[in-house]
Amino acid sequence: MSGREGCSRWCEQCQTEQKMRVKHCYKCQRCVYRFDHHCFWVGACVGEKNHVWFYWFLATQSIMCMWTAVVFAEAFVDVSPWLNANWIQLLVVIDAGGVGLLPLGLWGYHTYLVLTGQTTWEDLRTRKIEYLRGFELVAPFSKGVLGNVVTFCSSWRWWAYTPVEHQYEEAMVKLAASKGSRREIGVWDNPWNNKYYSCC
């Protein structure tokens, strides 16, 4: 990507201007709005229109793996000769519980991202993303916890959809005016990084 007159960022592969929170995925060969990551489990990019579905996918996988582990673990109340005859169930419990920790951890991480109005890409690459450089805030696009949840849950509905290029212009103008300072941000707007404290 190189600079182009009149554009903040230009995607050489798609030959188009990249708006804020857009990233080109080299595996999918397209630009993705509110890019989170490319998921090899689902074989597609997780972005603005499918992030909520990915979140619920992680939730259901976590619940099912933990439920399976609990149901099978209940069979081991009496560890007697029965265990010798049914050792394969022990392997199922260990596998379901162990495998369940991965989606459970990801679900927890994506819950944090939803509550702060961030994406995985923005959280992990903050200093490398051009439009986030120079801001003191951890989550400059945060609309407060409730606002972030509403935005996240309604981004896939056509009637609630606001195109990404318009959605963030006002927020970035406001941030640029304050130099990305947290001096004016209250606890309810950003519980992790506000005028009283910063934990991130």
- Give CA–CA dist 184/146, Å, rounded: 18
Catalytic residue list contains 39: yes
The vertex-72 CA angle with 66 and 76, nearest 5°, equals: 125
Cα–Cα dist 198/132, whole Å: 17
CA dist 39 to 43, 48, 168, Å? 6, 14, 25
Q: Which amino acid is at 160?
A: A
- Catalytic residue (choose from 14, 25, 28, 39): 39
Catalytic residues: 39
